[in-house]
Chains A and B, each alone.
Chain A
């Protein structure tokens, strides 16, 4: 089946309720293309979504999916992948979902290096709750809960990932459709935790980090011949550069071994015997 899968097979027939012009449309299309391009089909794909405008993505895509509670999508993805190493797992959510309420899980999913792809739709605002500051909002960005700006520096999710031992760090822009899909595809193909921070503008509540802003300021690492994603120091440099916005694969560890392989998990855990396992009495005898 997989050879003739088209990206539209990943589309559900539910009409998105995102605001017209929301960056999440482009983000989703790119993710679907990347899934199709990597030979996946809806029946072997599991999408876990967080809560927020971004989290609605699971509803608009067609695959096995769970739309969970706020901030906890990564642990769900981890559970799915551990139980079923044969299934492609994609986790999606917003910057609030991933870097605020779910920040702890982010750090640990990164360091575990579970073989899944994490797409964060970063609009630098809380969309669904109607325009409050998010962890990636600029320190002077005025919102309903921060009338004078958050007055604290934004989280740098790429740096957080790097510091947590990430094996794949990338950033893309939802409106640059082809590059975005390519970058997500690389994340899927990566053996381990493929993390992509996606600039996905909120046209309703964020008038600072707009399409125009990203178009004007985005530097594509692909065009920088000197950038070698396998070079940790080079990755560090672009990730910590707060003067520019980059897209592309910042960092990839070529020696990455995903969590389930490190732990020798290969079996499909859904298969269990009809009764207790053959040698189960040994479990009892152990207590003699």
Chain B
């Protein structure tokens, strides 16, 4: 492993913490370094502690760790909150001229920089964070020119004067440290490479996947942490002839998306927590009317309003079982930011191929985390579109009954019926949430009911056979210890392997992106001595379904503090679990 650097900026919400962090992350990405970011934020706009953390290395990084090397602290609370991650070699940049007197443990390097006055000299107090970034470059020996590039990208649209002022502010911070401290870069060596990485978060990847997959309509209602999908699409979807509607609530959002889908558009809605509950009634309609729709749930801490800005993977049961009655659905859960892109594309294809709602379940940690990738990770040439049994005018005849009615819910061997969109001649038909016959007309006839229920579930069987419900695998495939995970835990788990290996513990990691249908893990679990399921919830919802599938008890690591797993912490947890007795 190459040396990595852990950096953070923290202060009050409203202090521009997010953009400061993002600029530094971009500068690092420009320098060909890998970046992985995480955010601490409270559910308020002004006031309240907030931080943006960056881990960077020339190697791929995909997790946070319990260590902070450089901290830009705009408040004392920033220091207090991170005390347990700071170490003897840490440096803390702060502004001693401000009204708070920083209490910094003696063993750490306190770097007092007059951020505000230097920023004012450069053109405005607002740039004090940029002064701090300049100082950070100097402390770590990172070439400030990469920061210049990030500033150009960030402020280029606002005119050259603003860009110049910001560059000057960065230089002022850099020079101040040079002149007043003798730190010799604290021993850091910020290597750069020729790589050109892109830096994006999970929600952006979902939005990008949606556009690539041909999504043209999106309706949503703002809710943390799903809103940024809507914001992403709002800015871009019109370039592709699409439209985003901010609906009056989630009930409306899912119904609008359903309407657009029935009209033939690839359509999507996204929400979180409470919003998913509101969508549940219509979810059943989407399934019984056999409408292709992608519903993204970016999970956050529940229940009720829970901890709206905190991480959790608590909605799996909802995605699997939510809704009255019994309806088939697909549940796909990306395990990384690139998977957010690819699984979104796949979700649209599954939805249309099987005319079924698809839950795309992601989580807060993934949605806000920015990570670097080579652009080829999102190779658009690889995107394939499958619209399923969409019939055109010429094919309609095949699907008419003796009276000339279009059999929109025809009972077929594979469970998938023909689909005609409005405007298709002679295929006008109705669909309903009531139980219906092949023509879509209400029925309570016993056989018809059974035929339709069976037909809808047969789609799942067909999909089980036709699609790859694979998993991703890491570590030692022959190891006796098996760790299973879903969602965004993958990154931390993969890095935990390094720590475990160093301690001589061999582990096979299976990361599962499909919740329903899901891969059958019986063989893998039977081959292992011990199986642990890792998830960000209190009860072990995924562990429950695995136990149910395999009829074996598994061990569980559950974290429900509202904070994602960290690689080093997870390694310790796994080590500890492995020594615990197997549950009876």
Chain A residues engaging chain B, CB cutoff 8 angstroms: 1, 12-14, 42-48, 58-59, 62-69, 72, 74-84, 86-87, 104-105, 107-108, 260, 263-265, 267-277, 280-281, 283-285, 287-288
Q: How distant is the Cα of A13 from the Cα of B439 in the complex, in angstroms? A: 12
* A265-B243 in contact given A83-B267, A288-B198 (Cβ < 8 Å): yes
Per the 8 Å Cβ criterion, residues 234-280 of B in contact with A are 236, 238, 240-243, 245, 247-249, 251-253, 255-267
Residues of A within 8 A of B236 (CB): 283
Query: Which one of B429-437, B512-520, B566-574 is at the A interface?
Result: B429-437
- Min C-beta distance of A42 to chain B, whole Å: 4
Q: Is B403 an interface residue (CB 8 A)?
A: yes
Q: Give the residues in chain A near B425, CB-CB below 8 Å.
A: 1, 43
User: Is the CB–CB distance between B380 and A104 below 8 Å?
Assistant: no
Closest Cβ of chain B to A60, distance in Å, is 10
B424 CB-CB contact with A under 8 Å:
yes
B289 adjacent to chain A (CB < 8 Å):
yes
Q: How far is the CA of A180 from the CA of B241 in the complex (A)?
A: 37
Q: Given A44-B422, A59-B442: A83 and B433 within 8 A (CB)?
A: no
Q: Which listed residue (B216, B249, B429) contacts A269, Cβ 8 A? A: B216
Contact of A69 (CB < 8 Å), options: B214, B265, B433: B433
Complexed CA–CA distance, A267 and B284 (Å): 29
Contact (Cβ within 8 A) B217 A83: yes
Identify which of B256, B267, B434 contacts A67 (C-beta below 8 A): B434
Nearest-CB distance from A64 to chain B (Å)? Answer: 4
Contact B432 A66 (CB under 8 A): yes
In contact, A14 and B441 (Cβ under 8 angstroms): yes
How many Å from the CB of A1 to the closest CB on chain B? 8
Q: Are B263 and A287 in contact (CB under 8 A)?
A: no
**Given A42-B428, A80-B262, 18 more pairs with CB closer than 8 A:** A43-B422, A65-B428, A66-B432, A78-B256, A79-B260, A83-B216, A83-B260, A265-B243, A269-B216, A269-B264, A272-B216, A274-B385, A275-B383, A277-B211, A287-B199, A288-B153, A288-B197, A288-B198
Number of B interface residues in the complex (CB < 8 A): 71
Pair B433/A272 contact, Cβ less than 8 Å: no
A165 nearest CB across to chain B (Å): 14
Q: Which residue of A lies closest to B211 (CB)?
A: A283
B384: CB under 8 A from chain A? yes
Which of A82, A270, A287 makes the CB contact (< 8 A) with B256?
A82
Contacts of A272 on B, CB cut-off 8 Å? 214, 216, 266, 385
The chain A residue sitting closest to B212, CB to CB, is: A276
Which of A1, A58, A79, A275 has the most chain B CB atoms inside 10 A of its CB? A79
Which residues of B sit under 8 angstroms from A14, Cβ to Cβ?
441
Can you pick out 14 interface pairs between chain A and chain B where the beta carbons lie within 8 Å of each other? A14-B441, A45-B422, A65-B428, A66-B289, A69-B255, A75-B259, A79-B255, A79-B258, A79-B260, A81-B263, A86-B423, A281-B375, A281-B380, A287-B200
Closest to B376 in A: A284
A35–B113 CA distance with the chains assembled, in angstroms: 74
Closest to A104 in B: B248
Q: Which of B241, B259, B428 meets A66, CB within 8 Å?
A: B259
Instruction: Write the nearest CB–CB distance from A96 to chain B, whole angstroms.
Output: 16
A83-B264, A83-B267, A270-B421 known; A76-B258 Cβ under 8 A: yes
Chain B positions within 8 Å of A79 at CB level = 217, 219, 255-263, 267
Q: Are A269 and B245 in contact (CB under 8 A)?
A: no
B434 surroundings in chain A (CB, below 8 A): 67
Please tell me if the beta carbons of A64 and B198 are within 8 angstroms of each other in the complex. Answer: no
- A81 CA to B256 CA in the complex, in Å? 10
Residue of A nearest to B429 (CB): A64
B468 within 8 A of A: no
In the complex, what residues of A have CB within 8 A of residue B285's CB? 68-69
- B427 adjacent to chain A (CB < 8 Å): yes
Asked whether A80 lies within 8 Å of B422 as measured between CB atoms, the reply is: yes
* A280 pairs with B211, CB closer than 8 A: yes
Closest 6 pairs between A and B when the two form their complex, measured CB to CB? A79-B259, A270-B264, A272-B214, A65-B430, A75-B255, A67-B432
Q: Encode contact with A along B492-535: 1 for CB under 8 Å, 0 otherwise.
A: 00000000000000000000000000000000000000000000
**Interchain CA distance A75-B200 in the complex, whole Å:** 32
Complex Cα distance A176/B533, Å?
68
Docked CA distance A77–B260 (Å):
8
Q: Which residues of chain A have C-beta atoms less than 8 A from B245's C-beta? A: 78, 82
List the B residue with the shortest CB-CB distance to A106: B248
Question: Contact between B199 and A76 (Cβ–Cβ < 8 Å)?
Answer: no
Cross-chain contact A43 with B424 (CB below 8 angstroms):
yes
Interface membership of B381, Cβ < 8 A: yes
Known A82-B217, A284-B198; contact A269-B441, beta-carbon cutoff 8 A: no
CA distance A271 to B572 in the complex (A): 52
Contact A108 B429 (CB under 8 A): no
A81 to B29, CA, bound (A): 43
Are B256 and A275 touching (Cβ within 8 A)? no
Cα(A105)–Cα(B251), bound, Å: 9
Distance (whole angstroms) from the CB of A53 to the closest CB of chain B: 13
**B263 and A80 form a contact (CB under 8 A):** yes
Check: B549 CB closer than 8 A to any chain A CB. Answer: no
Say if the beta carbon of B117 comes within 8 Å of chain A.
no
CB pair A67 B430 closer than 8 Å: yes
Could you tell me which residues of chain B, from 140 to 171, have a CB within 8 Å of some CB in chain A? 153
Which single member of A64, A84, A270, A284 contacts B375 (CB below 8 Å)?
A: A284
User: Please, which residues of chain A bring their CB within 8 A of the CB of B421?
Assistant: 270
Contact A287 B198 (CB under 8 A): yes
The answer, among A42, A78, A270, A285, for a CB contact under 8 Å with B259, is: A78
Contacts of B281 in A (CB 8 A): 69
Interface centre among A13, A14, A59, A287 (most CB of B within 10 A): A287
Residue of A nearest to B281 (CB): A69
Q: Which of B191-209 contact A (CB under 8 A)?
A: 196-200, 204, 208
Instruction: Tell me the bound Cα distance from A188 to B423 in angstroms.
Output: 18
CB-nearest residue of chain A relative to B387?
A: A272
Given contact pairs A13-B403, A82-B217, A58 touches B422 in the complex (Cβ within 8 A)? no
CB atoms of B256 and A273 under 8 A apart: no
**Are B441 and A59 in contact, CB atoms less than 8 angstroms apart?**
yes
Known: A62-B428, A87-B263. A284 touches B216 (CB 8 A): no
